[in-house]
Amino acid sequence: MRPELRAALSRSLGVEVASAASLGGGDTAAAYRVVLDDGRTVFAKTVDDPRPDVFTTEAASLAWLGEARAVRVPEVLAVGRSPAVLVLEWIEGGASGPQTEASFGRALARLHRAGSAGFGRQDRRTTGSRALPNDPAPTWSDFLRDRRLLPLADLADGCDALDPTTTDLLRRVAGRLEILVGEPEPAARLHGDLWGGNRVVDADGESWLIDPAAFGGHREFDLAMMRLFGGFGPAVFDAYAESHPLGDGWADRVALHQISPLVVHAIKFGGGYVRAATDAIGRYA
């Protein structure tokens, strides 16, 4: 850990850093397991040349999810801009127990039911590695079109991530969303980036959510993301459906709600994500 980061942590927490061990697995951030002189262990991460407010947005997202008292999220202990750092309570990892998956499915249903003031974010902050907009929108189809699919089509065009024919089809899908997204539902409180790596199981077998890109949206968006990258057992979805049944035709919309994360991954990584994004787009065009 760089000396300036160690000093910033000490200032923010009011206690000296005893030791810091680097953790792997981050996309753009450097992460550390930090032991403090008072005996506490905390999690800290930092990034070089961050977007403005990158960690304050994450801290606000964690607080918003935590307000629902539905699923556990780590407490924010400190957040700073220079250097950019976020300090969270440490979650001691463990193994899933017999009830872990079903319990998480019910907790996620409670989180979604907690709702949102509308589609998007009231603070209008961008989220994700591509800084996608979250300005409030009147309906889910409006939000998905104007805050996700159309901006992503422009980004993909700008870096030649997708064939121009595919981005034309993506814009066509965006124009048809009103008839594709199903019956209207109230805005749900979404994690926004719910792949398996953003759910941590602790030593007691309880699930925590980390690294949110939170916004108010359709609950099928979170569930589609979970199915896209795996990491969640069938009991999660069964328990969710029992607690908060999905609308008619939800299975036909899974790939629709996977288009956004697939295009993001095609832009970032290319490879097989290009074909997967192209196939998903073509299904609804």
Catalytic residues: 193
Full 3-state SS string of 81-94: ECCEEEEEECCCEC
The H or E element containing residue 254 is: helix 254-269
Q: Provide the edge-to-edge strand list for the sheet that holds 17-23.
A: 17-23, 30-36, 41-46, 84-89, 76-81
Give the Cα separation of 146 and 139 in Å (integer): 11
Give the dihedral sign, CA 273/277/280/282. Answer: negative
ω into 261 cis (within 30 of 0): no
Rounded to the nearest 5 percent, the helix, strand and coil shares of the chain are 45, 20, 35
Using CB atoms within 10 Å of the CB of residue 179, give its burial: 0 to 12 exposed, 13 to 18 middle, 19+ buried.
exposed
Give the Cα separation of 153 and 119 in Å (integer): 20
CB 204 within 8 A of CB 98: no
Nearest CA-CA partner of 160 in 89, 266, 78, 234: 266
Q: Where are the beta strands (DSSP E) in 184-284?
A: 188-190, 199-201, 207-209, 215-217
- What single-letter amino acid sits at 142? D
Tokens for 215, please give them.
């916004």
